[in-house]
Amino acid sequence: KKAQAWSARFSEPVSDLVKRYTASVDFDKRLARFDIEGSLAHAEMLQSVGVLSADDLAAIRDGMQTILAEIDAGSFEWLLDLEDVHLNIEKRLVELVGDAGKRLHTGRSRNDQVATDVRLWLRAEIDIILGLLRELRHALATLAKTHATTIMPGFTHLQVAQPVTFGHHLLAYAEMFARDAERLADCRRRVNRLPLGAAALAGTSFPIDRERVARTLGFDGVAQNSLDAVSDRDFAIEFCAAGALVMVHVSRLSEELVLWMSPRVGFIDLADRFCTGSSIMPQKKNPDVPELARGKTGRVNGHLMALLTLMKGQPLAYNKDNQEDKEGLFDTADTVRDTLRIFADMVGGIHVKAEAMREAALQGFATATDLADYLVKKGVPFRDAHEVVAHAVRECVERGCDLADLTAEELRGFHAQIGDDVHSVLTLEGSVAARAHVGGTAPARVREQAERVLAETAGA
């Protein structure tokens, strides 16, 4: 008995290895419900233009309902012989409802069918990921609000640079994730175009109504060129690029969490449920989750590169190469989704060690710029002020003390304009409070920004 849908053309069956090599059902079966949704919209349209009878449509609907139930119950039998999700479902439909099932594929090809399925699936994934990005931003802003006045050293080159508030630092990530959400929302607009109707590549001779199918499936419009519709996967590549950036941002945050949790730094502790121990060293509590997230960023970046490479050599229109888009795309969505879900939870459980942050900010001359700015406000040109403070810092390094440990008198030795009020600008609180413009680290601004993000993500 011939299993393949196209086997009459062939004089011998494909070898087992070729069968396994060319089949995609093991991974594309996750598209099943979207495949059925697309088929139902197609059948309904075919009936509306008189290509299918009302009886055929009713039979197809019945059959698909049974198939969905079988899939949900786990009793649907997926056959490698039937290559992919599309042929498996169609074959079962024919078993269930006979000729009506055989008529479903009128005016359609697996080429426009699969492009439609993937778009429907991806649209749903993007919506879930957008929700999770909101949740994560909400968690970051909640913690930021609590720590609007908690001071930590800000770094450049991983060297102490200037004091910042921990809230400000957290909100930097909220901004990155806001842009990620913008990118995904923008990508969604191009995902949401209907390829169905392109058929194999050239369109179909049946009087189809593509706009109707687009409306039924919630697409914003139809793809305008049939060759393009079945062959390009740029929408999937865009999603992988946006997903890779999400992961890059998560990875940067992860790197900081790992660093902050190192006893050498000791700025934070992560809740036990996100950490693991060691099988040999009894004292260990390792930040596995952020480490793994940092590692998984590699595979997501890899999927992006794989998809770009998959596309670059393909002539128009559809080629089987495109079957290779799925595993990387699915894994990107799964990885981004799981990662964001965990992080939204983990951020809320960060235990902040404010004293250690403050202690670190007091070392490394974090307020040296403030002293230079102080001199500028007294009329000293900035470049000269910079030089004066550099001399003072050098002296402190030699003596092994901080700028604030020098008396006003001693500091005046570096420049006559230094007054008795100088210590007020050398404090951490004075330094952060002075940066009160939009985007600055002053507690008042951080509170405002946290409130803004909380309002934007309300309900998350």
**Interface ranges with ligand ARG (CB under 6 A):** 24, 28, 84, 110-111, 114, 320, 322-323
- In terms of phi and psi (left: phi > 0; alpha: psi -120 to 50; beta: otherwise), the region of 364 is left
Structure tokens at 294: 């940092």
- Cβ 243 vs Cβ 336: under 8 Å: yes
Q: Which residue, 111 or 254, has its beta carbon nearer to ligand ARG?
A: 111
Which residue is listed with tokens 């330094």? 431
DSSP state of 286: B
Residues present in the chain in total: 460
Q: How far is CA 447 from the centre of its chain?
A: 26
406 CB-near residues (< 8 Å, 6+ apart): 392, 395, 396
- Other CB atoms within a 10 A radius of the CB of residue 426 amount to 21
Catalytic residue among 15, 157, 279, 437: 157
DSSP, collapsed to helix, strand or coil, labels residue 169 as helix
Query: Is residue 424 flagged as an active site residue?
Result: no
- Other CB atoms within a 10 A radius of the CB of residue 80 amount to 16
CA distance 191 to 378: 58
The DSSP-derived string for 252-281 is: HHHHHHHHHHSTTT--EE--GGG-B--SS-
Q: How far is the CB of 341 from ligand ARG (least distance, A)?
A: 28
Q: Which residue, 25 or 304, has its beta carbon nearer to ligand ARG?
A: 25
Q: How far is the CB of 326 from ligand ARG (least distance, A)?
A: 6
Q: How far is the CB of 80 from ligand ARG (least distance, A)?
A: 13
Query: Is residue 226 flagged as an active site residue?
Result: no
- Other CB atoms within a 10 A radius of the CB of residue 376 amount to 15
Angle, nearest 10°, between helix axes 85-97 and 32-48? 60
Which neighbouring-strand residues pair with 152?
A: 164
- Other CB atoms within a 10 A radius of the CB of residue 439 amount to 10
One-letter amino acid of 447: R
Q: Which residue, 201 or 265, has its beta carbon nearer to ligand ARG?
A: 201
Q: How far is the CB of 346 from ligand ARG (least distance, A)?
A: 36
Q: How far is the CB of 84 from ligand ARG (least distance, A)?
A: 4
Q: How far is the CB of 345 from ligand ARG (least distance, A)?
A: 35
Rg (CA), the chain: 30
Residues assigned a catalytic role: 157, 278
